[in-house]
Amino acid sequence: LRPRSRLPPGPPGLPLVGNALDVPPSHQWTKYLQWSTEYGDVMHLSALGRHLIILSSLDAARDLLEKRSNVYSDRPRFTMISDLMGWDWAIQFMSYGARFKQYRSSVMAQLRKQVLHRYHPIQLREARQLVLQLHRSPENFLQLIKHASGATMMSILYGFKEGQRRDGYVHLAEEATESLVIAGNVGKYLVDFIPILKYVPEWVPGSGFQRQAREWRKLCLSLINSPFQDVKNSLTMGTASPSIVGYMLEDQTMETEHLIKATAGVLYLGGADTTLSAFYSFMLAMILFPDVMRKAQEEIDSVTKGERLPDFADKSALPYCNCLVLEVFRWVPAVPLGVPHQSNGIDQYRGYVIPKNAIVMVNVWSILRDERIYPDPSRFSPDRFMPGSSEEKQLDPREVAFGFGRRTCPGVHFAEDHLWIIFVTILAAFDIRRSKTGAGAENPLPSRDFKVTSGMVSLPEPFPCDLVPRSLNLIKSLGQDDY
């Protein structure tokens, strides 16, 4: 057999462009699912000479990305992002190797289970502050939640409390990550396929990408430099609040300033949009499945007696709420196609050849919505994971949603804590209801077939909702002075 005929099966493509024209520009995971029913759970596509392998089952993902992690731990090179826009410090896009290991272990050190308690006071404070803000302007709930996701990360990373300074940095980070989303749209920039184009000077006609990259590079560099310098100044003046950057600067074992800046940038990048996606999904789930909301609220009330807001110390007494977080990870996968891996050598699997430098992606979305694993997958049901519930216990979605092998998400436990305290605080304070007033063409009333945005990180499209306070006394007790 010629090597090509031993590639995994996949849709036929055209000469040269391969399947580039068949892959839709958005929501590729639905097309990949459709193709996988025809070609199987290990599928081959090609685009402009690049091999693409799509894995659509847990077995295949584990067999390759975990059991053969010596082959599949690399990332494809994103020339536009890493070389031209300046994101070469972000481990998310880094090739596997010595530098990656050094940077990843610095990130892991800040996300170990043993240190997560350090962030709890900030997460608690921010969750309660958000309750106050939501109470004051419930109609702006989507904007408030979006801002809170970025702002909480800024507080944890740099110690900035509420105010203009922090808002400015959140704005900067949003702009920088938006540029990433645009540039991360594989296929948009030819330089990602023909890296040598990165040397084309800006004045050459057709090199608009160079000018664009230069503008975006400024955002990327400000994102890691400006807040970092700010913390350093505050430490010198003795006015800094506790923060990850502060801990790292004080810890003399840390290698270089660049590593500290990069670690903070990586955490922001990894944490802000993903937790925002989960937050939107949670709100939507509570509107669509009011029985789940009531069950979670009853559990919280049984512990707090409705006299106080919940706290991290209540976590072990709230198992249903813990399962609710897991169900959010499953119900709307925040990273529906994971982050692409790349093979660093030729491999054989199930009799097929996986070429060297093939881009390997897992269809996380299709696994987490597979009815053979999760019966009635569009139903939001934390009971899937509750010990002793009438439902049969189902696969823990963290095993899929956070990726595989040596590149698995290091933020999984952080994300759980972060979302848990927000969800239980909001559930204690408000009923989240289907809006009677806010619906319109732009914000249609949600149904089980709600739409999600497309991109590496995906989230439900905007929807209206009403937030009805459950206890005004509880909310009012959160006086501004305390926070």
Of the pair 186, 475, the CB lying nearest ligand HEM is at: 186
Does the footprint of ligand HEM cover residue 76 (CB under 6 A)?
A: no
State yes or no: 409 annotated in a binding site.
yes
Candidate residues 158, 414, 420, 463; the one interacting with ligand HEM per rule CB under 6 A: 414
Q: Whole-number minimum distance, CB 102 to ligand HEM, in Å? A: 12
Compute the C-alpha angle 457/459/460, nearest 5°: 165
State the CB neighbour count (10 A cutoff) for residue 79: 22
State the CB neighbour count (10 A cutoff) for residue 244: 23
Q: Whole-number minimum distance, CB 205 to ligand HEM, in Å? A: 36
Pick the closest to residue 424 from 305, 334, 296 (CA basis). Answer: 296
> In angstroms, rounded to a whole number, what is the distance separating the alpha carbons of residues 237 and 235?
5
Q: Write out the DSSP string of 391-417.
A: SPP---THHHHT--GGG--TTHHHHHH
Candidate residues 213, 415, 422, 432; the one interacting with ligand HEM per rule CB under 6 A: 415
State the CB neighbour count (10 A cutoff) for residue 147: 19
Which listed range, 9-17, 45-53, 81-89, 411-419, lies at the site for ligand HEM (CB under 6 A)? 411-419
Site track for ligand HEM across 391-410, x = CB under 6 A: ----------xxxx--xxxx
Q: 362 forms bridges with which residues in the sheet?
A: 55
Of the pair 384, 475, the CB lying nearest ligand HEM is at: 384
Which listed range, 32-40, 272-280, 313-321, 472-480, lies at the site for ligand HEM (CB under 6 A)? 272-280
Of the pair 340, 464, the CB lying nearest ligand HEM is at: 340
Query: Strand, helix or coil at 104?
Result: helix
Q: Which of residues 423-482 bind ligand HEM (CB under 6 A)?
A: none
Q: Whole-number minimum distance, CB 481 to ligand HEM, in Å? A: 30
Pick the closest to residue 219 from 274, 273, 269, 177 (CA basis). Answer: 177
Pick the closest to residue 352 from 63, 110, 15, 25 (CA basis). Answer: 63
> In angstroms, rounded to a whole number, what is the distance separating the alpha carbons of residues 312 and 121?
9
Q: Which of residues 85-104 bind ligand HEM (CB under 6 A)?
A: 91-92, 104
Q: Which of residues 250-269 bind ligand HEM (CB under 6 A)?
A: 266-267
> In angstroms, rounded to a whole number, what is the distance separating the alpha carbons of residues 469 and 225?
41
Q: Are strands 359-362 and 50-55 parallel, antiparallel or unpaired?
A: parallel
The binding site for heme consists of 409
Residues at the contact surface with ligand HEM, assessed by CB under 6 A: 91-92, 104, 107, 266-267, 270-271, 274-275, 278, 334-335, 338-339, 341, 401-404, 407-411, 414-415
Binding residues: 409
